[in-house]
């Protein structure tokens, strides 16, 4: 992979490799483990991505924050003991290509399917993620069916967003969508969503753009090829049970995740591709 002037390969103290981007447009970090972006800060603005202060950056462990890639299933699998949210978020991806122009920097990674446990995923397929970085961030996750039969999957781009005060944060743009929470529903979202308890809402029929209103400003969150999304904050009790997460960090984060879940799951015919897209920027 040929690097550009603003891009370098670096390592954490624990040995994890990441792509470091320091440009006139933004600063960013993308880890090869999980194909996971953990920093995105447009020049002259506040960060748009949150990572736990307790994160240890350990080999084989999903990073608590950034944008974990949940693939090829979201949530817990019907088979007990299989990894939550699939295997992509803990797999080692390969850097594929870097392109830099005056307008943006594009970094693409691919998941080496020959290393995937075929018990988890017996299908012939390709998985690629592209990060398009400027004063905004766009993440594109593309699955291609290389098999001779169709397969289905669910997925999410599990974005962690920062806020200085979750109780003074709300999400606009979900009104009219259907949601299930804690296995109950579906319900219709009637109003702007605030946070005063554990929140784990899985939305379908959701509009393609939402706005997160925080004390630091408004974050615009877009999706493409997705009519479902997930809104999450662990609140007090669950925070105590999460790995790499301080007990009080629920106050400074929330997740709004572009997804293909429930009746928005993807079925791909042979040789078909599907690209899940999320975009984030300060409004």
CA 95 to CA 249: how far, in whole Å? 31
**Which are the contacts of 25, defined by CB distance < 8 A and separation ≥ 6?**
42, 43, 104, 105, 133, 134, 135
Kindly report the CA angle at 90 between 89 and 91, in degrees rounded to 5? Answer: 100
DSSP 8-state code for residue 237 = H
At 195, phi and psi to the nearest 5?
A: -130, 120
Cα-based distances in Å from 26 to 61, 194, 205: 27, 30, 33
Establish whether 170 is a catalytic residue.
no
Bridge-partner residues for 160, per DSSP? 255
Cα-based distances in Å from 229 to 42, 120, 225, 258: 24, 24, 11, 5
**Which are the contacts of 44, defined by CB distance < 8 A and separation ≥ 6?**
none
Establish whether 257 is a catalytic residue.
yes
CA 271 to CA 252: how far, in whole Å? 42
Catalytic residue from among 55, 100, 138, 257: 257
Catalytic residue from among 85, 100, 123, 158: 158
Euclidean distance between the first and final Cα of the chain, in Å?
34
CA 39 to CA 16: how far, in whole Å? 15
Active site residues: 158, 257
């Amino acid at each position: 992979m040929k690097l550009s002037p603003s891009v370098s390969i670096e390592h954490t103290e624990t040995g994890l490799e990441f792509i470091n981007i320091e440009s006139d447009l933004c600063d960013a970090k993308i880890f090869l483990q999980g194909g996971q972006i953990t920093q995105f800060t447009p020049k002259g603005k506040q960060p748009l991505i949150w990572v736990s202060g307790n994160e240890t950056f350990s080999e084989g462990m999903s990073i608590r924050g950034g944008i974990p890639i949940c693939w090829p299933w979201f949530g817990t699998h019907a088979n007990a003991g299989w990894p939550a949210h699939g295997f992509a978020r803990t797999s080692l991806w390969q850097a594929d290509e870097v392109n830099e122009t005056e307008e943006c920097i594009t970094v693409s990674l691919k998941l080496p399917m020959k290393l995937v446990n075929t018990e988890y995923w017996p299908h012939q397929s390709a998985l690629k993620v592209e990060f398009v970085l400027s004063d905004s961030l766009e993440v594109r996750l593309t699955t291609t069916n290389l098999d001779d039969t169709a397969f289905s999957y669910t997925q999410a781009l599990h974005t962690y967003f920062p806020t200085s005060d979750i109780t003074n944060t709300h999400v606009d743009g979900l009104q009219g969508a259907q949601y299930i929470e804690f296995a109950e529903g579906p319900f219709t979202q009637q109003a702007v969503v605030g946070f005063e308890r554990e929140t784990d809402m899985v939305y379908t029929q959701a509009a393609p753009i939402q706005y997160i209103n925080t004390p630091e400003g408004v974050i615009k969150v877009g999706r493409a090829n997705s009519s479902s999304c997930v809104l999450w904050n662990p609140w007090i009790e669950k925070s105590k049970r999460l790995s790499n997460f301080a007990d009080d960090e629920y106050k400074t984060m929330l997740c709004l995740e572009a997804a293909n879940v429930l009746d928005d799951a993807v079925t791909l015919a042979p040789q078909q591709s599907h690209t899940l897209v999320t975009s984030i920027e300060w409004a």
